[in-house]
Amino acid sequence: MEKNHPVSELMSETIQRIREAVDANTVVGTPIVAGEVTLIPVSRISLGFGTAGSEVGGKTPKALGENPFGGGGGAGLKIIPVCFLVVSGGMVKVLSVDAAPETSLDRVVDLIPDIVNKITSVLEERKTKKQEAEA
């Protein structure tokens, strides 16, 4: 069996620690039920990591061992609450945590639940009118 290089082992360990810190429940949190209302927290994650190493050489590498190596790794993680999805009475609304959307895309994303609710209402009204007309 081939032995992994120490840099590979450092990277594997760093990635494993990141996996332990972040999962799908970090981005879309566990729903909070309060009576008829369900709140679903949504967060934004920023992540950076790095790993580096060097084999120590020189005139006397054997004095430091068979495979002299020095290295390290690290990671930084930032979790920012973005909004809560509020589910009540079959309707979904976005309760933003940020004061204002940063970009036009953020504004569009904020409007999606309201648009879906309006379309659903219009379709339900049409269905009701059609059923009344048939009766």
23 or 32, higher pLDDT? 32
- Does the pLDDT value for residue 1 go beyond 60? no
Q: Mean pLDDT, to the nearest integer, of 3-8?
A: 67
pLDDT band of residue 17 (cuts 50, 70, 90) is confident
Whole-prediction pTM: 0.50
Report pLDDT for 38: 92
Please give the residue that has the higher pLDDT: either 60 or 96: 96
Q: Give one DSSP letter per residue of 1-53, joined into a string.
A: -PPPPHHHHHHHHHHHHHHHH--HHHHB---EEETTEEEEEEEEEEEEEEEEE
Question: How do the domains of the chain map onto residue ranges?
Answer: 6-88, 100-135
| pLDDT for 11 beyond 50 | yes
pLDDT at 10: 74
Q: How confident is the model at residue 113 (pLDDT cuts 50, 70, 90)?
A: confident
Distances in Å between the Cα of 46 and the Cα atoms of 43, 90, 107, 127 are: 10, 32, 20, 45
